[in-house]
Structure 1
Amino acid sequence: MTFQTLDDLPAAQRVLCRVDLNSPVEDGTVVDNRRFDRHAETVRELSEAGHRVALLAHQGRPGRDTFVGLEQHADLLADHAGVDVSYVPDTYGEEALAAIRALESGDVLLLENSRMVDAELPEESPETKAETAFVQTLAAEFDAYVNDAYSAAHRSHASLVGFPRALPAYAGRVMETEYEANTAIASREFDGPVTMVVGGTKATDVIQVMEALGDRVDQFLLGGVAGELFLRAAGHPVGRDVDAELFDEQWEANGDTVERVLDEYGDQIRLASDLAYETDDGDRAEVAVADIDEKTTDYLDVGAETVADYEPVIRDSDAVFVKGALGVFEDERFADGTVGVLEAVAETDCFSVVGGGDTSRAIELYGMDEADFSHVSIAGGAYIRALTGQELVGVAELERATETGPA
């Protein structure tokens, strides 16, 4: 690890800390989720150490229903952290500056949604972001910057890459643990087989993961939309649109590449042997892939035989990485594949990382214990980039700041 952490932070600092509290919003109500609990550790540690803490976070994007202020987030974070978190409906104007200057030892303040600042969102260089009034104004009020928002670290936004150019910079506990776990597949040596469960809806993600990690992973276990596209590449009459428009456009864009990857890594790839669908009565039914003559319905999960095929591979592994769901697990009828594989991982004495989009949510949704996994990531896009060896600009700026200090 090549950046400074909270262990290196001097005492009694005025700390600006970037967290990622971005959450679903239902009928105007912010939904509690594991991000609050994870970031609560960093917030609590900073508060109990006597720092004066202001937090930056984002919620949604302009024009979307999820683009709301952070007042509810302050209450949710306070509940998880066990410390008071005040809120100010301003990010770097006079109201925000007055609230920052009034902070005392151990106080925590949540500033307004950083994406309500014009300078925040455009993807620009760290040098450009550091020169914005947003960064320059806030940086003058603090001694140190802490980036705990690993799940947003692939974004070159002002609150993520500008402040390490203006202040001494440190990684929070979420940033630290996510970085260590998510880079393990490339940086650690394992004594036994390494397995990767790959699903989700984006073929491009699966292709990138396979091409980047083909020499590190012994077996890829496929499912979800991506897995069905690979079945199509293998010559089966699936991976085509019926009701849901998830397949044909992706096949047109990536079909040749999927076929090439299947040919190149075929010995390492296991595909579903059966798939599950919804009957006219609304029940779950399964069909062997070999028995499908034509796709006439949407397939919403892998079947029981596929889970039975995948389980021994998982149980024989020294490390298992999970990226993406094997089915529509949000519907209990079609959760068997995702849950069955996750339960096998949980029961195996191996190093295990679960991440990618909402996949980790299945652990909570179906009553599994996070403690049974080595790490459950709250990152989506950043997790994919870490797995495929792409630079995360937010992490790179922490590393640069550690080496050279503020620019």
Structure 2
Amino acid sequence: MSTPTATFKTLDDLESDQRVLVRLDLNSPIEDGEPQDNRRFERHAETVRELADAGHRVVLLAHQGRPGRDDFVSLAGHADILASHVGRDVGFVADTYGDDAIDAIGALEPGEILLLENTRMCDDELPEEDPEVKAETEFVQSLALHFDAYVNDAYSAAHRSHASLVGFPQVLPAYAGRVMQTEYEANTAIAEKEFDGQVTMAVGGTKATDVIDVMNNLGDKVDDFLLGGIAGELFLRAAGHPVGFDLDPEQDLYDTQWEQNHELVEEMLAERGEQITLATDLAYEAEGERAEIDVDEIEEKDVSFLDVGTDTAEGYADVVRDSEAVFVKGALGVFEDERFSVGTVTVLEAIAETDCFSVVGGGDTSRAIGMYGMDEADFDHVSIAGGAYIRALTGQPLAGVEALKEQ
């Protein structure tokens, strides 16, 4: 199989002794006002450590939450978590481009690291606008004067056209960090690599439109789509089974999606039916335990289905074992509840045991790997991106990536 050609400069192209502004994505769960450690810190630490070890002066930008939400907090706690992963001190200043920030940046010695305050506390950051507009903001113009280069490592935020993501590449030499580089190459591999054998995609999650867009964009590359989750149940409804609707009128997981998209789902089944594999059994809760029923035996939906059934999971695993490449987008069930983790975990374990090229991503799906004792090293790539991963699979451009490509 061929490898995607580089479309932007990376850290390998960065000159020595630079004052570098680096955009990370450290957005994290907040509990009692404090950020919680997660895989993003570990991944971004690789880029930060490499730059610091090379003797660059490293200044970091990141965001947390959105204005008005409970998780919109300072990045002071993030600095300590990142430092534990980098293995070096990470300074923090509660300012982004004011005098305090500029003074702290000017005081940096080679190899030192400084994290600036939450970018979304800047009025210039959040509106989605063209890169040329963002480049003219006071935020970008003021801060860029103090740097030699800009590095974007925030692939998981790259679908946003925010100042810290698209403005700086307009005014500074720009490079991709290691997370940006590896995420881009892995997540575009399905479209850009050539595979001799079967290419399989396990597709779950909550949105039928995501599944339809993926199929439209990658239908000529993927031999078999294995469906699960809410989206999979909607496809079962389109195939004539009495499932895929809400039992609770306040729930609204299925009915609105069906009303808006049923024609598209039906068309997709008609056009690509030979490529689409639907669940043959589904799992639900009965008296606190996991119970299963064959899809063909369902006469009416009177329970909530929370996972594909065991037979379906094992059938999907058999397909995986015969594949040269497997991509995962979204969970096949509510894997956070161990009773309904069978579909997601069985497929992931089959991928881990198989010598195939594999990429796992989409929302929180990748969390199942650590949650159920699997080793990330058994997968070619485990994405930390959600929205950006979906956009990559559906062929939509990522504003942050495009800004790097224009260098």
What is the TM-score when the length of structure 2 is the normalising length?
A: 0.97
Show the counterpart of 2:3. Answer: none
- 1:374 matched to 2:390? The reply is no
Question: Aligned ranges for residues 2-401 of structure 1 at < 5 Å?
Answer: 2-243=7-248, 244-279=251-286, 281-401=287-407
Q: How far apart, CA to CA, are the structure 1 residues paired with 2:324 and 2:332?
A: 21
- The one-character-per-residue Cα deviations of 1:155-196 (angstroms, maximum 9, x if unpaired) are 100000000001000000000000110111011001100000
Q: Name the SS of the counterpart of 1:176 in structure 2.
A: helix
1:233, distance to aligned residue in structure 2 (A): 0.4
Q: Name the SS of the counterpart of 1:90 in structure 2.
A: coil
AA partner of residue 375 (structure 2): D
AA partner of residue 101 (structure 1): G
Aligned residues: 400
Q: How far apart, CA to CA, are the structure 1 residues paired with 2:261 and 2:298?
A: 23
Task: Structure 1: give runs of 5+ residues left out of the alignment.
Answer: 402-407
- The one-character-per-residue Cα deviations of 1:82-132 (angstroms, maximum 9, x if unpaired) are 111111111111111111111110010010110111110100000000000
1:297, distance to aligned residue in structure 2 (A): 1.2
Q: How far apart, CA to CA, are the structure 2 residues paired with 1:371 and 1:173?
A: 17
Show the counterpart of 1:405. Answer: none
Q: Name the SS of the counterpart of 1:309 in structure 2.
A: helix
AA partner of residue 278 (structure 1): E
Q: Name the SS of the counterpart of 2:282 in structure 1.
A: strand
1:28, distance to aligned residue in structure 2 (A): 1.7
1:387, distance to aligned residue in structure 2 (A): 1.1
1:388, distance to aligned residue in structure 2 (A): 1.5
- The one-character-per-residue Cα deviations of 1:64-92 (angstroms, maximum 9, x if unpaired) are 11111111111111111111111111111
- Identity among equivalent pairs (%): 73
Q: Name the SS of the counterpart of 1:62 in structure 2.
A: coil
1:364, distance to aligned residue in structure 2 (A): 1.1
Q: How far apart, CA to CA, are the structure 1 residues paired with 2:121 and 2:359?
A: 34
Q: Name the SS of the counterpart of 2:79 in structure 1.
A: helix
Q: Name the SS of the counterpart of 2:58 in structure 1.
A: strand
AA partner of residue 232 (structure 1): R
Show the counterpart of 1:404. Answer: none
1:245, distance to aligned residue in structure 2 (A): 2.1
Q: Name the SS of the counterpart of 1:17 in structure 2.
A: strand
1:27, distance to aligned residue in structure 2 (A): 2.5
What is the TM-score when the length of structure 1 is the normalising length?
A: 0.97
1:313, distance to aligned residue in structure 2 (A): 0.7
1:390, distance to aligned residue in structure 2 (A): 1.2
- The one-character-per-residue Cα deviations of 1:359-399 (angstroms, maximum 9, x if unpaired) are 00111111110000000000111111111211111111101
AA partner of residue 6 (structure 1): L
Q: Name the SS of the counterpart of 1:167 in structure 2.
A: coil
- The one-character-per-residue Cα deviations of 1:37-66 (angstroms, maximum 9, x if unpaired) are 000000000000000011000111111111
Q: How far apart, CA to CA, are the structure 2 residues paired with 1:386 and 1:363?
A: 22
Q: Name the SS of the counterpart of 1:42 in structure 2.
A: helix
Q: Name the SS of the counterpart of 1:346 in structure 2.
A: helix
The alignment's C-alpha RMSD in Å is: 0.7
- The one-character-per-residue Cα deviations of 1:226-283 (angstroms, maximum 9, x if unpaired) are 000000000000000013320001111111101111111100000011111111x211
Q: Name the SS of the counterpart of 2:406 in structure 1.
A: helix
Q: How far apart, CA to CA, are the structure 1 residues paired with 2:261 and 2:66?
A: 29
Q: How far apart, CA to CA, are the structure 2 residues paired with 1:331 and 1:68?
A: 30
Q: How far apart, CA to CA, are the structure 2 residues paired with 1:24 and 1:265?
A: 39
Task: Structure 2: give runs of 5+ residues left out of the alignment.
Answer: 1-5
